[in-house]
């Protein structure tokens, strides 16, 4: 039996020191914690060095990331600079320079958000520690972010709550302060920060909360805006008046703390509720001002023009400054002339007035934009359709006639009904005079224009050619498609009030066509001109041609169908127009300085007749002529509207062999009973029943002074030359027949 091994101390090999086998001590076999975590520590160190290098790169080398594109409000003014409307994409933003911001607002913002802004860098370590300490104490004082950091968050990096975003924010802020001055950053900040109610920047906020420019803000206003920065949506005085007072008071307290306000003044201001001087949301100024005079229709049309040229994005958020041609004072007169006269249950009306430069100075597109957004003045361009022009189209045939070298003294028979065989695409074309009027002798084009005799103009159109009339209408400014059909001279095509006003203004401008336009100039917010809208001037008629047509259209107002449009003290030329069944009624007239087109009808239906308005049917010589007179009397008051060029003769060839000079001397016998009736527009018609009248006629040379006695009344017109006395002939018994009316 072997003896037991002796007891050895721990760690000693039983084989003894001479043994070939050895053991490692326990201290060597168990590595230290550093050794055990060396790989993780290496990775952490690598990431730290990489992050530091990246931060240094962002801080020193990397360019600034592109700023977020900020929408800016577009402003529209009238021709005098008075504000008409604003357009935005939901972000109301109006940049201003730092010099426009009152010092009291700057102090309120800095005291509330970053008092030491001008004394620290882009980052404020002391402020961060102070903010953390205040947060632990539960005091609602300043946050840790500087003004530069807040601006960077709004414009460059967004508001996501992540560590990486905060690092990036700090890096970009440092980089920003290397490239911009403190004042530049502060100006950008004040123009960027959100204040609630869709307002970005101090100017927009000043408008939506106080209804005034930022330069007019006082101490209490400024304190409230400064308090809004931290919680713009929850501190709206209209939503939470108590919170609004609290946020305002925080700003006041900070101003006292930093010596910008006395305690006594602070208590005085704090006693005033914020809700007492902040505009209620329901009372905010609308996007379109002066809605009571129909400016919305004009603004809508202006916006369509802007979008077509600059695109939707530029209009909604490009900060355009748009000066239009509208004059608010004239617009108010126009709206009153139409809807201050027409009763709510009567047909609708539209009016466009254009000056000698083609500027649309007034546009009435409807009664109430809130009820209907269709602009009745602009036709298809305003969301609706055109309307038939009636006999206002006769002016274009007159212009084509004199342009072709024919005389206005050319005469035609004027029966109550005329049939032109196969003139309408192979079908007989039947034309009827208004109320089947007829004359017992041929009448010249001046008389036919004054009395709007359809059968005469149908014959004239057949002689001149409908194609030449269409070409003249387009040259003078009609932009709508015009079909080559014989009824066109009686206004069977659909046109807009705007284009008809522009076309007639060609006559007012001595034959020079200028397209009517609604925009004078468009600039950027800093004044860079983007567009000066100056339409070209195209001569389409000679001065002599225009003078002759002016003369004929003046007779309409002096003693024809448009006497109701006369404006005392001013020379007026114009033309009435009434379509079949009284669906549409027009009066378009002008002085040498101003052209105005008036339309009436039922907008919801192009076939609804105006038969029983003001005691009878509506024609161009009744309500439209009255509206024209109401407007022009106000618009021309105290102005020199000019005079038309004198007309000494009627040059040109006669279209037919017979000629009835203007106002020939005629004596008419009336063997049977005579009935006198009043024509629409104020003129009088005499109808003689029984046997036909006998008459004798004496004619003078074209350049004559003519005294004319019209049926049922007398009127005198003057031109140089000899004198001729005239008594108008009798009319035959009326017959009725369908057709477009004069």
Using one digit for the tens of pLDDT, what is the confidence trace for 312-358? 878 877 889 999 999 999 999 999 999 999 998 889 999 999 999 99
CA Rg value for the chain: 42
Domain membership of residue 66 (yes or no) is no
**Does the pLDDT value for residue 161 go beyond 70?**
no
Cβ atoms of 465 and 402 within 8 Å: the answer is no
Distances (CA, A) of 417 to 185, 436, 454: 81, 7, 9
Domain membership of residue 13 (yes or no) is no
Q: What is the pLDDT of residues 71-95, one digit of tens each?
A: 678 889 999 999 898 887 666 777 8
pTM over 0.75: no
pLDDT class of 55 with cuts at 50, 70, 90? low
**Does the pLDDT value for residue 297 go beyond 90?**
yes
Residues 6+ apart with CB under 8 A from 184: none
pLDDT class of 565 with cuts at 50, 70, 90? very high
**What pLDDT, on a 0 to 100 scale, did the predictor assign at position 199?**
82
Cβ atoms of 597 and 497 within 8 Å: the answer is yes
Other CB atoms closer than 10 Å to residue 271's CB: what's the count? 7
Domain membership of residue 658 (yes or no) is no
**What pLDDT, on a 0 to 100 scale, did the predictor assign at position 733?**
30
**Does the pLDDT value for residue 543 go beyond 60?**
yes
**Four-point Cα dihedral 171, 175, 177, 180, nearest 10:** -140
Q: What is the pLDDT of residues 679-696, one digit of tens each?
A: 333 333 333 322 222 233
Q: Which of 119-128, 415-424, 631-640 has the highest mean pLDDT?
A: 631-640
Percent over 70 (pLDDT), the chain: 70
Other CB atoms closer than 10 Å to residue 668's CB: what's the count? 19
Which one is predicted more confidently, 122 or 496?
496
Taking every pair of Cα atoms in the chain, the longest distance, rounded to a whole number of angstroms, is 179
Q: Backbone phi, then psi, for 587, in 5-degree steps?
A: -140, 125
Cβ atoms of 687 and 677 within 8 Å: the answer is yes
- 470: its two tokens: 């269409």
Which one is predicted more confidently, 579 or 57?
579
**Does the pLDDT value for residue 67 go beyond 80?**
no
Determine which of 122-131, 260-269, 297-306 has the lowest per-residue pLDDT on average: 122-131
Task: Give dist(CA 234, CA 228) in Å, integer.
Answer: 9
Domain membership of residue 105 (yes or no) is yes
Beta bridge partners of 725: 707
**Does the pLDDT value for residue 163 go beyond 60?**
no
- 449: its two tokens: 């224009």
SS3 126: helix
Mean pLDDT estimate for the chain: 78
Host domain of residue 162:
95-283
Determine which of 1-5, 492-496, 679-683 has the lowest per-residue pLDDT on average: 679-683
**What pLDDT, on a 0 to 100 scale, did the predictor assign at position 648?**
87
Domain membership of residue 543 (yes or no) is no
Domain end marker among 224, 252, 283: 283
Cβ atoms of 696 and 403 within 8 Å: the answer is no
Which one is predicted more confidently, 41 or 539?
539
> What's the whole-number mean pLDDT along residues 398-425?
90
Domain membership of residue 227 (yes or no) is yes
Block residue for tokens 């947060």 = 135
Closest CA to 381 of 397, 401, 363, 395: 363
Task: Give dist(CA 480, CA 331) in Å, integer.
Answer: 26
Task: Give dist(CA 389, CA 530) in Å, integer.
Answer: 37
**What pLDDT, on a 0 to 100 scale, did the predictor assign at position 397?**
97
> What's the whole-number mean pLDDT along residues 552-557?
97
Determine which of 374-388, 524-538, 661-675 has the lowest per-residue pLDDT on average: 661-675
Looking at the 3D structure of the chain, how many domains does it have?
2
Block residue for tokens 């007749």 = 609
**Does the pLDDT value for residue 434 go beyond 70?**
yes
Domain end marker among 283, 306, 341: 283
Domain membership of residue 654 (yes or no) is no
Residues 6+ apart with CB under 8 A from 738: 430, 432, 580
Other CB atoms closer than 10 Å to residue 230's CB: what's the count? 16
**Does the pLDDT value for residue 562 go beyond 60?**
yes
Which one is predicted more confidently, 381 or 728?
381
Domain membership of residue 18 (yes or no) is no
pLDDT class of 189 with cuts at 50, 70, 90? confident
First CA to last CA across the chain, in angstroms? 151
**What pLDDT, on a 0 to 100 scale, did the predictor assign at position 323?**
96
Task: Give dist(CA 615, CA 610) in Å, integer.
Answer: 11
Domain end marker among 257, 283, 309: 283
């Amino acid at each position: 039996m072997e003896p037991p091994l002796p007891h050895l101390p721990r760690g000693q090999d039983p084989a003894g020191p001479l043994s070939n086998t050895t053991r490692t001590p326990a201290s060597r076999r168990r590595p230290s914690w550093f050794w055990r975590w060396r790989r993780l520590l290496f990775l952490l160190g690598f990431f730290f060095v990489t992050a530091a290098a990246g931060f240094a790169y962002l801080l020193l080398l990397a360019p600034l990331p592109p700023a977020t594109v900020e929408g800016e409000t577009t402003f529209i003014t009238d021709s005098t600079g008075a504000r008409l409307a604003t357009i935005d994409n939901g972000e109301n933003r109006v940049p201003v320079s730092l010099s426009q911001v009152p010092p009291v607002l700057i102090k309120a913002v800095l005291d509330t958000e970053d008092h030491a802004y001008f004394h620290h860098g882009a980052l404020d370590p002391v402020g961060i520690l102070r903010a953390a300490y205040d947060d632990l104490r539960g005091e609602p004082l300043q946050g840790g972010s500087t003004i530069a950091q807040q601006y960077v968050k709004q414009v460059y990096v967004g508001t996501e709550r992540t560590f990486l975003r905060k690092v990036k924010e700090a890096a970009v802020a440092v980089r920003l302060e290397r490239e911009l001055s403190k004042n530049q950053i502060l100006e950008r900040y004040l123009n960027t920060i959100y204040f609630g109610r869709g307002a970005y920047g101090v100017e927009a906020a000043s408008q939506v909360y106080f209804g005034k420019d930022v330069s007019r803000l006082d101490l209490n206003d400024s304190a409230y805006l400064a308090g809004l920065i931290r919680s713009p949506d929850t501190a709206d005085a209209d939503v939470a008046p108590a919170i609004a007072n609290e946020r305002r008071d925080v700003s006041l307290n900070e101003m006292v703390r930093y010596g910008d306000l006395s305690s006594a003044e602070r208590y005085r201001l704090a006693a005033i509720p914020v809700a007492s001087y902040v505009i209620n949301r329901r009372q905010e100024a609308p996007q379109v001002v002066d809605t009571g005079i129909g400016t919305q229709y004009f603004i809508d049309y202006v916006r369509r023009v802007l979008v077509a040229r600059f695109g939707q994005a530029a209009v909604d958020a490009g900060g355009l400054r748009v000066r239009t041609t509208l004059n608010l004072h004239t617009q108010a007169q126009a709206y009153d002339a139409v809807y201050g006269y027409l009763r709510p249950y009567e047909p609708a009306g539209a009016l466009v007035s254009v000056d000698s430069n083609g500027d649309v100075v007034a546009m009435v597109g409807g009664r109430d934009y809130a009820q209907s957004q269709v602009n009745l003045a602009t036709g298809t361009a305003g969301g609706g359709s055109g309307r038939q022009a009636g006999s206002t189209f006769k002016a274009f045939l007159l212009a084509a006639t004199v342009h072709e070298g024919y005389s206005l003294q050319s005469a035609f028979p004027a029966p109550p009904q005329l049939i032109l065989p196969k003139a309408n695409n192979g079908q007989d074309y039947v034309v009827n005079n208004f109320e089947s009027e007829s004359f017992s002798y041929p009448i010249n084009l001046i008389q036919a224009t004054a009395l709007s005799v359809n059968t005469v103009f149908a014959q004239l159109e057949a002689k001149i050619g409908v194609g030449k009339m269409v070409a003249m209408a387009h040259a003078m400014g009609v932009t709508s498609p015009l079909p080559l059909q014989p009824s066109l001279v009686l206004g069977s095509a659909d046109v807009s009030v705007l284009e008809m006003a522009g076309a007639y203004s060609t006559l007012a401008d001595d034959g020079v066509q200028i397209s009517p336009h609604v925009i004078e100039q468009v600039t950027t917010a800093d004044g860079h001109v983007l567009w000066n809208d100056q339409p070209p001037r195209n001569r389409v008629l000679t001065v002599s041609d225009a003078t002759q047509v002016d003369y004929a259209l003046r007779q309409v107002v002096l003693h024809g169908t448009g006497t109701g449009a006369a404006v005392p003290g001013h020379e007026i030329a114009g033309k009435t127009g009434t379509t079949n069944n009284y669906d549409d009624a027009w009066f378009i007239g002008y002085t040498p300085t101003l052209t105005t087109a008036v339309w009436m009808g039922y907008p919801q239906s192009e076939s609804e007749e105006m038969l029983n308005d003001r005691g009878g049917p509506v024609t161009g010589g009744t309500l439209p002529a009255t509206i024209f007179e109401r407007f022009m009397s106000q618009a021309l008051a105290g102005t020199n509207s000019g005079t038309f060029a004198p007309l000494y003769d009627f040059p040109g060839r006669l279209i037919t062999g017979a000629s009835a000079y203007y106002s020939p001397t005629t004596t008419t016998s009336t063997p049977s009973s005579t009935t006198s009736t009043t024509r629409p527009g104020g003129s009088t018609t005499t109808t003689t029943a029984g046997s036909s009248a006998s008459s004798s006629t004496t004619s003078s040379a074209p350049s004559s002074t003519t005294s004319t006695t019209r049926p049922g009344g007398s009127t005198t017109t003057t031109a140089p030359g000899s004198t001729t006395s005239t008594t108008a002939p009798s009319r035959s018994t009326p017959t009725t027949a369908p057709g477009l009316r004069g």
